[in-house]
Chain A
Amino acid sequence: MFEIRIHSRGGQGGVTAARLLALAAIHDGKYATAAPFYGAERRGAPIVSFVRIDDKPIRIYSQIKKPDMVIVLDASVMDVVDVLQGLKSGGRVLVNSAHAREFKGFTSSHVDLTGIALKENLVVAGSPILNTPVIGALAKIGIVSVDSAKRAIRETFTDERNVKAAEAAAKEMSA
């Protein structure tokens, strides 16, 4: 089983990112669950979502304590939340950032999702859309296939700029 924890702020699309990722994994022929952790959410507050991907049906409902990977959609969350908590040694951290970030003991990647969204003019209610480009970045490192990533995005959003943003994120992401 591959377990991912997504950190974001309320309203940034972290829950939809989890859903897109699980849907893409299902299209790959795998089993997947996406579960937002529901606390007292408000717009702008730090939130987490969980994604599990496996070859067998998933029977776990409790929260992910030892993720294989952590995704940070908003780097400012790192000032208030220990995003590395429980991350397996050698696990991967992907941060939405224009600059490289180093996390000792982990594989560190970055991609400027915000910049890509702005370039594609993917902005809703003043916020750049991060959840479709991040799926492209995840396809680049093989978490889901590129075809399934695009299919999941197209089934969810009609605007083709979302697919273009995902392609751009795959190209720009540091390995």
Chain B
Amino acid sequence: MKKISTGNKAVAEAVKQVVPAVVAAYPITPQTEIVEQIAEFVSSGELKSRYIAVESEHSAMAACIGASITGVRTFTATSSHGLLYMHEMTNWAAGARLPIVMATVNRSLGPGWNIWAEHTDALQERDTGWLQVYVSTVQEAYDATLMAFRIAEHNDVLLPVMVNLDGFLLSHIMQPLDTVDIGDFIPPIHLPHAIDVKNPAGYGCLTAPDQQVMFRWDIEKSIRDSAKVIEETEKEFTKRFGRKYGMTEDYQCADAEVIIVAMGTLGKEAEVAVDLLRKEGIKAGSMRLRWLRPFPKLNLVGKQVVVIDRDYSFGRGGILATEIMAQTKEEVFSVIAGLGGQEVTYEDMADFVRKRRMGTEFWFGVKNHV
């Protein structure tokens, strides 16, 4: 059914259909609408989940961990400082192999106090063992949330999945949304190591060094295997519901000489910049990175690469640019743009390409920084 929805409400709509046993969450701008909407679904009886209004994000993730280890489906959502406050527990969720799904509405970190879009919050969770997908439309926020549960709970994965959407730009925009009847798209959850009172076991016990390394490798092996599960899930989604997704969304890349790589809404608007550049005779393309973990093999051979980072690792560089430079020998022009919700238009992006200086870094909006 065609309706209009914000990105936040689209996530809540998907959660309603997936029916987690437990939703534990704490509101924070700009995520609030997700948990408000889910709480409303629960109080009206439309959603038969246990909603736990916890006192903090650390407790939200702890409650999801406690529920998930009993073998049931769980969901939470957060943003920015809320995500950072969870950080100890996000590591635990992945280490304990719990298929928790979380929506992160990406927002800048203080100080200065800033509520607008930035990816640094989720990227500080990069090394926790969570799978991470970044979406760019209201429809994709809904679709990716549905798929996240199937991927997380797959026996070859059993790791938490984070669905990332840009604060305000996507969380609060209203776009068409086509909801589907999910049928048996997401099989019933089966957690092989769920707590069983008839068969007591120790969880999170002291682990010796030579065993700890095996636990770590086990996470890495599963995250590598998850690439295949993601591909199968996205293929099955297309078969059932028609919409197509991949590790990246490539636009006019085949014959491109220069490719813009970005995530989220910037990655989508980059397509309009590509149209503009092509009209001027510049063979441009765009590659919107959807999955950051597992990090896909990008086909950038022979291309000039313009990476736009809405994030930064101080003392090193744009986080996405750094990841790409570690994978490819091609030269990169690293653009830092959109921090703290800074306005970046398709015309600005076209300008990044026109004025690219390969092998350098450029901070949009900062004068004389080189």
Q: Which residues of A contact B (CB under 8 A)?
A: 18-19, 22-23, 26, 31-36, 38, 58-63, 65
* Distance of A25 from chain B, by nearest CB (Å): 9
Stretch at the interface among B50-58, B263-271, B318-326, B353-361: B263-271
- Whether the pair B174, A34 counts as a contact (CB closer than 8 A) is yes
Which of B116, B169, B268 touches A59 (beta carbons < 8 Å)?
B268
Interface of B is mostly: mixed
- 21 A-B pairs within 8 Å (CB atoms) are namely A22-B174, A23-B3, A26-B4, A32-B4, A32-B176, A34-B173, A35-B172, A35-B173, A38-B30, A38-B115, A38-B116, A59-B271, A60-B272, A60-B345, A60-B346, A61-B166, A61-B169, A61-B170, A61-B268, A61-B269, A62-B346
Chain B residues with Cβ below 8 Å from A62 are 269, 343-346
0/1 string, B1-31, CB within 8 A of A gives 1: 0111000000000000000000000000010
Chain A residues with Cβ below 8 Å from B173 are 33-35, 61
- Whether the pair B172, A36 counts as a contact (CB closer than 8 A) is yes
Q: What class of interface size applies to chain B in its complex with A?
A: 20 to 34
- Docked Cα-Cα span, A58 to B265, in Å, equals 11
- Docked Cα-Cα span, A107 to B169, in Å, equals 31
- Whether the pair B4, A59 counts as a contact (CB closer than 8 A) is no
Total A-B residue pairs with C-beta atoms closer than 8 Å? 57
Most buried by B among A31, A33, A58, A62: A62
Most buried by A among B115, B172, B344: B172
* Distance of B286 from chain A, by nearest CB (Å): 10
- Whether the pair A60, B269 counts as a contact (CB closer than 8 A) is yes
Closest Cβ neighbor of B137 among chain A residues = A57
Q: Is B32 an interface residue when CB atoms closer than 8 A count as contact?
A: no
Chain A residues with Cβ below 8 Å from B169 are 35, 61
Closest Cβ neighbor of B166 among chain A residues = A61
